Amino acid sequence: GLVNSRELFKKAVDGGYAIPAYNFNNLEQLQAIITACAETNSPVIIQVSKGARNYANETMLRYMATGAVQMAREMGSNIPIVLHLDHGDSFEICKSCIDSGFSSVMIDGSHLPYDENVALTKKVVEYAHQFDVTVEGELGVLAGIEDDVVAEKSTYTQPDEVEDFVKKTGVDSLAISIGTSHGAYKFKLKEGESVPPLRFDILEECEKRIPGFPIVLHGASSVVPAYVDLINQYGGKMDGAVGVPEDQLRKAAASAVCKINIDSDGRLAVTAKVREYLANDPGEFDPRKYLGAARKELIELIKHKNEAVLGSAGKG
């Protein structure tokens, strides 16, 4: 069945790699994640946002996740699979997911005053741990949009808070803010400017305060330029879309960062392939054709992430 993230993170921190956390909202995304992770023998966290619950129904997504475990086993793969709530914003949402069989949840109190974040996170941890469900907390605010939580600009994690937060709350992992943001427009670059490096100095300061403790990186899509180009070539308009370069993610994966969240790159792959397919075959109206093309690309993208960026391939 599903497992929590505890053992996976321990191995990943020790091994200098990161477990991929891919968001899913529909069948094709989940098939692609499972196929790619089984074929690369990578442990995987499949995660569900509040938006995904609204779109696809929480019960449906949970049954899909248990079906996904079964699918992996039928493929002859024994990879660990975690079903995780992404950016839970209340105790009630976390409880609902824990009660229904999620093996891991995130409580995102990063937008709250520090003491309220501590209190809310602690409450979720106390509930979750009764059922051996692992909990991710967050300190520092990412720029961009986290579901309903809108942050104009990023507030980096304050290293002086992390030890106290981890001790007081009992969380199993901690998401930090070191310069990434959600979505496809992570950096506003002027003409000729290149992407600024992530704040690895802040990451290092955090690691010093909580040695060996599992750290999570959100907003970690690379916004693969080839997909943005395809989208623009086939009628889309995504000028200025830019993400985190792969070398930055490799560096993060080698550190105490043991979970890397990727959603936008999958969305871009799907959109690029659907646009390309329909532009080249305007008479096609069978969704299996264009969604099949999208799913095939998604499998390649995820294999690449596991093998060449996160280093999780072969660790299943």
**What is the contact surface with ligand 13P in residues (CB under 6 A)?**
23, 86-87, 182-183, 218-221, 261-264
Under the criterion CB under 5 A, does residue 258 sit at the interface with Na ion? Answer: yes
C-alpha distances in angstroms, 281 versus 3, 277, 290, 297? Answer: 42, 6, 9, 17
Nearer to ligand 13P, 196 or 287 (CB): 196
Binding-site residue numbers for Zn(2+) are 87, 108, 138, 182, 218
Binder of residue 147, out of ligand 13P, ligand G3H, Zn ion, none (CB less than 5 to 8 A by kind)? ligand G3H
The window from 6-14, 129-137, 157-165, 210-218 that contacts Zn ion (CB under 5 A) reads 210-218
C-alpha distances in angstroms, 48 versus 12, 196, 231? Answer: 22, 30, 25
Enumerate residues 14-33 that contact ligand G3H by CB under 6 A. 23
Quick check: helix, strand or coil at residue 141? strand
A 10 A CB-CB count for 233 gives 12
Q: C-alpha 298: how far from its chain's center?
A: 15
* Nearest-approach distance from CB 233 to ligand 13P, in angstroms: 22
Handedness of CA 76, 82, 86, 91 (dihedral sign): positive
CB contact burial 30-54 (16+ within 10 A = b; e otherwise)? bbbbbbbbbbbebbbbbbbbbebbe
Q: Could you give the string, one character per residue 243-272, with x where binding to ligand G3H holds by CB under 6 A and - elsewhere?
A: --------------------x---------
* Nearest-approach distance from CB 283 to ligand 13P, in angstroms: 33
Enumerate residues 12-71 that contact Na ion by CB under 5 A. 18
- Contacting residue, 84, 122, 182, 259, with ligand G3H by CB under 6 A: 182
Binder of residue 136, out of ligand 13P, Zn ion, ligand G3H, none (CB less than 5 to 8 A by kind)? none
Enumerate residues 37-76 that contact ligand G3H by CB under 6 A. 49, 51-52
Tokens read off for 192? 């000729």
Give 52's contacts (C-beta < 8 A, 6+ positions apart).
23, 24, 25, 61, 86
Phi then psi dihedrals of residue 260, to 5 deg? -120, 120
To the query of whether residue 201 is one of the catalytic residues in this protein, the response is no
Q: Which of these is catalytic: 86, 172, 263, 265?
A: 86
Footprint on this chain of ligand G3H (rule: CB under 6 A):
23, 49, 51-52, 86-87, 146-147, 182, 263
The residues annotated with a catalytic role in the active site are 86
